[in-house]
Amino acid sequence: MSNDIYARLMSVVSEIEQDGFVSLGPVAPLIRDLDGLADRHLAATCSAEDIRTGIMAKLAAIELDPASHAIESAMATGRGPKTVGVMTAIARRKLVAACGHALELPEDIELPRPADKKTIPAVTSGAAKGAPTIGVLRNIAAYHREHERYYTWNSATEAANMFREANRLKAVATVWLGDQSSPSLHLAAGDFTDERFAAAGCNDLNALPAIGAIGVLFMEGEGEPAEIRALKAKLRGLGPAWHGSGDWLANKMAHAWLRESVMLRDDWAAAAEPRFGTIVANWCGSRQMALAGRCATIALQILEGIDLRPAGVRADRREAGRQLLEAAWVLDGVAQVIGRSALDLSENDRRWTRYLDFLTTLPAVEAAA
């Protein structure tokens, strides 16, 4: 069974298939409602399952943003059939992607029905003031193709790192939620404040077979393990950094859409398709980066709510294990979002190359108007 959001998205897809682009009316309320749903579920006080619902809602809203711009561009006066075809393909692709995320939402999720459709005034086509030259467009494409080659593998690496951090927490949480201590290593009560014995391992808190892989070691005479302190510091830095960088890049992509709109002419449609594909991938990726930063901060808040000193964990080991597992699942979500961004960005290299190949056929001093 589908949910209310999926049904509303499919109605937009159906309208486009039957009647073409006649209105932006149904899309804006969907973005608003999905963002609202995400905001209600993306909080440290929510369960990991609820946070996953928030992530899926936000990912659907992210896909709809470039879809709405593509619809608006297709509706602009003076567009030729080939240009409309390019924008139609982008809108359909992103709407279908949004539907995929919506299907991951709980079936009982319901949102208010949108208000009556309102026709959005068409965007006026034509050359923008100060239209760039072909040389400028070629410069931007050449440099940013190389820049994105770096960020493709960098984002994939960050995703792998987050999965690894999540699995470290899961290994420890599994011990706390069960009984996997090692009888042969049980210690008699002793004075572990004595620095000579402080390094003794906590037999009831450590995942002994996994320590060689995860590095997390609880010691009787110490506090929170250094590896978890390092993870907190990492999340404390990554959360705001990803959120800020994502917002910055999203703004740049909005301006890129306007700048590259000079390509929306039928004789240049072959170049417009790959170029706007790069913008869409970066636009979605920028908002995914901001979402990952937000979720990284939530994971940090969950971890900071756990007393991770040996005595603190022992006060309620199962509850500490439950919270640690929740933090791990949120980190899984962070990794999934960043990994999705890396995957989408990896498609851009061939798009940039096709675009550059087209630009090389044009005089560098020609105004793209």
Query: Does the pTM exceed 0.75?
Result: yes
Question: Mean pLDDT over all residues of the chain?
Answer: 87
* Residue corresponding to tokens 């399952």: 49
Residue 149 has pLDDT above 50, yes or no: yes
pLDDT bucket at 4, cuts 50 / 70 / 90: confident
User: Which of 261, 245, 252 has the alpha carbon at shortest distance from 69?
Assistant: 261
CA dihedral in degrees (284, 288, 289, 293; nearest 10)? 160
pLDDT of 25: 67
Out of 75-84, 132-141, 147-156, pick the least confident: 75-84
Residue 96 has pLDDT above 80, yes or no: yes
Q: What are phi and psi of 124, to 5 degrees?
A: -75, 125
- Separation CA 123–CA 113 (nearest Å): 27
pLDDT of 201: 84
Residue 174 has pLDDT above 50, yes or no: yes
pLDDT, tens digit (0-9, with 9 covering 90-100), for 292-306: 999 999 999 999 999
Taking the CA atoms of 309, 311, 313 and 319 in sequence, report the sign of the dihedral they define: negative
Yes or no: say if 57 and 34 are a contact pair by the CB < 8 Å rule.
Answer: yes
pLDDT of 119: 39
Highest mean pLDDT of the ranges 18-32, 158-172, 192-206, 252-266: 158-172
